[in-house]
Every structure is written in C-alpha cells, then in structure tokens.
Copies of this chain bind each other. A is one copy, B any other.
Amino acid sequence: MRVRRAPDVVIRRLPLYLRVLENIDIDKHGPSISSYELGDAAGVTPDQVRKDLSLFGEFGKQGVGYEIDTLRQELRRVLNLDCVIRVAIIGAGSLGIALARYLQGRRRAESNYHLDMVAVFDKDPAKIGLEIDGVRVLPMELLKSKVRELGVRMAVVAVPAASAQEVVDACVDAGIDGILNFAPAKLAVPSHVRLHNSDLSLELMHLAYYLCGAPGENTRTARDSQAEG
C-alpha cells in the first residue's frame, strides 16, 4: 500500500539502520533512540534518518525518538525480513564456500537473522556431497526441484564469469526472485527478477583511484575522503 515508491538510495540505508538497532542492548540503552543517535551510529545525518523513515510510516514520537523494538520490527517488515528468507549459493568454489560459511556464521552470531542458507549447488561431480557448515553440495540438476521443496527465494552466484549467464538462467527458471552475482560479468535477467552485482575487482579499481601519488610517495592532495560503501 505504498503511495510513492521509495528510491533505491533510501532502501540501501535501511539495512544500515536495522543493523544498528539489532546491535543495541535495550537494557543498557533504554527503549528509545533519536534520529541523532541512530544517524550517528549509521553514519548519516539525523535529517536523513527522519526523511528515510517517514517514507514508510510515522514510527517516532516527538520529544522522545523511536522505540527501538518497534522500529526494528517495522524495518524488518519493510525489508521483507520479518520471516525467514531461504538462500541458495550456486558454485562451491572457494568463493562459494566462503560465502556459505559467512552466512552460516552470521546466522549463528545473530539471533533473528532472517537469511537462511539452505543449499549449495555445483555442476562439478567432484564437489557434490561435500558438506559446508552442515549444508550439502547438490548437483545443478536438482536446482529447480530443491528450490521448490525448500522454498528458496534468493540465490548468490559464485561461479566463473563464463558460466554465470547460464547459471542465472537456471535460477530464473527455478523461480528465484532475487540474485546477488559475484561473477565479473554483465548478466541479463527478465524484468521480474532483481539482479544485484558485487564485484571485487571493480571495487578495487574504484578504490585505486583514491590512492595518493606514485607508489612509495604520498605527495598528491587527498581527494574526497568520505567513507564509502
């Protein structure tokens, strides 16, 4: 029932807010948090916090702030994280394994972590049957049936660039809604599927721009040094 669509730049900040709220100990802190505190912890201005949140409802009280429990719950709801989202990882190479372990670790560390990594797929027969933190590696042939069976809604693609498009096609065919791609490739998906990309190599090239001066020296003036990312 949202009237105006929220811009993506706002959506990207919501998980930041949510994380701050997840990490607050209410017993120590008290039940409320102001836009000043929340902004400070998340690295944005209080104005922005209020403007962002106001796009989704009126969650605060004048003179008091936002009730932490309530806001947390609202943000989870907005982000579709109010019930478990099952995630599959495609590719059991070192990156796929690392991502799988990372997600399992987050889930163990954070109660109420609503991303549940339930399966890893690979086409290499040598990888099938491996166990990664309690989850077995399955053959690609089972993707469609297992996605249905387990209720998987998101996929993390960690295969070589050359096979990324075919893997993504298979995910789409299996009915997956959202894909986070780690392969350094430009991929095509139908418009009802959301594709995001995370590319280490692009990130490093981006970062390289901000390195100062020639190797070994530090002569050039530092450019814009706001933290990114």
A14 to B210, CA, bound (A): 13
Q: Are B198 and A203 neighbours in the complex by a CB distance under 8 Å?
A: yes
Q: A191-B225, A198-B229 are in contact. Are A211 and B16 (CB under 8 A)?
A: no
Q: Are B87 and A94 neighbours in the complex by a CB distance under 8 Å?
A: no
Copies of this chain in its oligomeric complex: 2
- The range of chain A's interface size is 35 or more
Q: Are B196 and A207 neighbours in the complex by a CB distance under 8 Å?
A: yes
- CB neighbours (8 Å) of A184 from chain B are 19, 106
Stretch binding the partner chain, chosen from A27-35, A47-55, A74-82, A119-127: A74-82
Q: Which of A197-229 contact B (CB under 8 A)?
A: 197-212, 215-216, 218, 222-229
Q: A85-B208, A207-B180, A209-B80 are in contact. Are A194 and B98 (CB under 8 A)?
A: no
Q: Are A154 and B94 neighbours in the complex by a CB distance under 8 Å?
A: no
- CB neighbours (8 Å) of A102 from chain B are 94-95, 200-201
Q: Are B203 and A180 neighbours in the complex by a CB distance under 8 Å?
A: yes
Would you give the shortest CB distance from A134 to chain B, in whole angstroms?
14
- What does the 1/0 interface line of A94-106 toward B look like (CB < 8 Å)? 1101110111001
Find the B residue at minimum CB distance from A114: B208
- CB neighbours (8 Å) of A19 from chain B are 184, 201-202
Q: Are B94 and A177 neighbours in the complex by a CB distance under 8 Å?
A: no
Would you give the shortest CB distance from A118 to chain B, in whole angstroms?
12
- CB neighbours (8 Å) of A98 from chain B are 93-95, 97-99
Stretch binding the partner chain, chosen from A4-12, A57-65, A138-146: A4-12
**Top-3 shortest CB links A-B:** A98-B98, A15-B205, A194-B210
